[in-house]
Every structure is written in structure tokens, then in C-alpha cells.
Amino acid sequence: MSNVFVVGEIKDGELKKISRELTSAARKIADTLGGQVEVLLIGAGAEKFAGDLGAVGADKVLTADAGDFNAEAYANIISENVKAKKPSVVLMPHTGYGKDYSPRVAVKIGAGIVADVVGLSVDGGKVIGKKPIYSGKAYANIKVTTDIQAFTVRPNSQELGSKAGAGAVEAAAAGAGDVKVKVTGTELSGGSKIQLTEASIIVSGGRGMKGPENFPMLQSLADLLGAALGASRAAVDSGWISHSHQVGQTGKTVSPNCYIACGISGSIQHMAGMGSSKYIVAVNKDPEAPIFKVATYGVVADLFEVVPALTAEFKKVLG
């Protein structure tokens, strides 16, 4: 039997979409290899999401609570459960949390790991992970040669499945163990609750935005669409918007369904962060801007006219 073990994610009491994406991908692998899909969810009230995960293919949902997020505690709990369940494949999210605990899990369970994959396939009983490399200039296909094959998977890269599993709930081992790093305080900067790296729509502004006073215009479009707000480094370095919004090589890597770039030229470093977006919309005055080479829909026009018109039009159709 080749079971697939998924680590899901709950944040602020909500099931993150990546959990369903990973479960869907796991279902396909398990069906090919002949096995079950077990999803571990760590967090208070995890049981209530079993139905959601069962609907996309989870046979079993293992639940554990460990208080506030701590990478070492999560790594301990995850590896303890992997060791107990002996799956042949482990899928973890390539999110902020996942990047924090997955390296420790790989070491603890003695598994080779391929990180930040956007594609998963099976060949000769082994999973092959496909990952973008060199700023998206190439893709590498990599398999893992240890008994357990571990992968971290980029959010928004997997289709949601429609094949249901049993979705049975089971309490999991939850030994957090000793942790060396303790959080003594957090400071939230407020702003939008939609995280860039997981957003399915992103509205992003660059140097063409001209100043900080114009970002609220983009924010209202983003709010209307349930989108996250992004920015180029030029906008961040000019101090118009905080670095947490930066998309690109020295910012965040995003893979939304739709990326709307306003006044962004499309430098290679920016594209390194958003080049894998499914649909790209570019609003730019300059018809020669490199962003048009990757844009699904190009609008050669002044963003100060197009963005408000777009907001008005969406208001009309979205009611």
C-alpha cells in the first residue's frame, strides 16, 4: 500500500485553501499508486473541516491541537504521525508555515525532499515533482529516492478534485516536545487579511502608480474582487507601500489565478515572483513594456483612467 500523507493548514480558525489543493493532488497520487489519503490538521477545532477535506479525497483526517503556531512543535507532531502511519509520500504546503517546519520534518523522517513544486506526477511507482528554477527560466523534474518521498507544494498550483474520500476523523498523536524558540510578542500591521502568497486574485502596482496617495485606488479594486494588494520593488523602495506587499525575487512568489499589474514594466526580477500566474493582465502606457510579452490581456492605456473605470465596471457586474 502506498498511502499519501498530507499536512493541511488552519489559520485564524479557517481552513486554508492549500489544504484542499494538497488533498486533491494526494487523491490522484493515491489512486495511481493504490493507497489511502490521510490528512493531518493541526489547530483548535480541526475536526469541523473533515467534511471539506473528505469531499476532495481525504480518507482520514487526523486532528491535533498544539496551541499557537510553533515550527519546532509542528515538526515534532508531523514527524511523529508520519512515523506512525508509514506513508510513501508526504505533501506539505510551501507556505510561510510550511517553509518553517518542512525542513525539520524531512530530517526527522529521513526523507529526501523537493521543495516548491507546482506539478506532481507518478512514474514507475515514484512521484516526480516539477519545480520552477532560475527565476522561472526553467523547470526541473525531480524524484526522491528514499522510502518516504517528501514534497512541499506551492499554493494555487493544484486543481481542486471532485473525488470524495471517506473523511473519517481520527485523533492524532500531538506531542509538541521541547521547543527552543519562544515567541514573546507579535505586532500585526493590520491591513488586508488576504495573504499575497495564497490569494487567487492579486492587484499590483508599480512605479507607474506615481505615489503612495494612489494606492487606495488599487486597494478599492482589490477589496471589490476579494484580491490581495501587491507591488513592485520600485513602489516599495520609493516608500509608497510596505515591503510585505512586494512581489518578485526579493519579495513574495505568487501563483494566483489572475494577476493584474498596473504601471509595472515586467522586469525579470518581478516576473520571477509572478510569472506562474494563470492569467496576467497588464495595464501600462508603454506598448513596448516587457510585461506585455507575458500578459494574457494587455491594456495599453493610462492606469489612472483605466483602474477607476475597471472598478466601476466590476461594481456593475458583481452587484
Partner 1 sequence: MKVVVLVKQVPDTETNIKLGDKSINEAGIKWIISPYDEFAIEEGIKLREKNGGEVIAVSVGPDRVQDVLRTSYAMGVDKAVHIKVDDYNTFDSLFTSQLIANFAKAEAADIILAGRQAIDTDSSQVPVQIAEELGAGHVVLAIKIEINGTSAKITREVEGGTATVETSLPVVVTATKGLNEPRYPSLKGIMSAKKKPIDVKQAADLGAPASRIEVVGLEPPPPRIAGRKLEAADAAGFASQLVKALREEAKVI
Stretch that binds partner 1, among 50-58, 85-93, 139-147, 205-213 (CB under 8 A): 139-147
Q: How far is the CB of 44 from ligand FAD (least distance, A)?
A: 35
Q: What is the DSSP secondary structure assignment for residue 160, as one 8-state letter?
A: P
Give yes or no for a contact between 38 and 4, defined as CB atoms under 8 angstroms apart.
Answer: yes
CA pair distance 178, 151, nearest whole angstrom: 25
Residue 286 interacts, among partner 1, ligand FAD, none and using kind-specific CB cut-offs from 5 to 8 Å, with ligand FAD
CA pair distance 17, 155, nearest whole angstrom: 8
Give yes or no for a contact between 59 and 76, defined as CB atoms under 8 angstroms apart.
Answer: no
Nearer to partner 1, 171 or 242 (CB): 242
Binding mask 37-66 for partner 1 (x = CB under 8 A): ------------------------------
Cα–Cα nearest to 46, from 17, 10, 5:
10
Give yes or no for a contact between 130 and 141, defined as CB atoms under 8 angstroms apart.
Answer: yes
Nearer to partner 1, 170 or 313 (CB): 313
Told to check if 273 binds ligand FAD by CB under 6 A, we report: yes
Q: In angstroms, what CA-CA distances link 213 with 34, 217, 225?
A: 56, 8, 21
- The single residue among 289, 295, 310, 311 that binds ligand FAD, judged by CB under 6 A, is 289
Find the length of the chain: 319
CA pair distance 265, 312, nearest whole angstrom: 25
- The single residue among 194, 269, 294, 298 that binds ligand FAD, judged by CB under 6 A, is 269
- The single residue among 250, 278, 293, 309 that binds ligand FAD, judged by CB under 6 A, is 250
Strands 10-11 and 14-15, sheet pairing: antiparallel
Told to check if 258 binds partner 1 by CB under 8 A, we report: yes
Told to check if 137 binds partner 1 by CB under 8 A, we report: yes
Q: Which DSSP helix (H) or strand (E) runs through 102?
A: helix 96-109
Nearer to partner 1, 51 or 279 (CB): 279
Q: Which of residues 169-198 bind ligand FAD (CB under 6 A)?
A: none
Q: Which DSSP helix (H) or strand (E) runs through 169?
A: strand 168-171
Instruction: Number of residues interacting with ligand FAD: please give it, by CB under 6 A.
Output: 27
Residue 270 interacts, among ligand FAD, partner 1, none and using kind-specific CB cut-offs from 5 to 8 Å, with ligand FAD
State the residues that interact with ligand FAD by CB under 6 A. Answer: 206-208, 232-235, 246, 248-251, 263-265, 267, 269-270, 273, 283-286, 289, 302-304
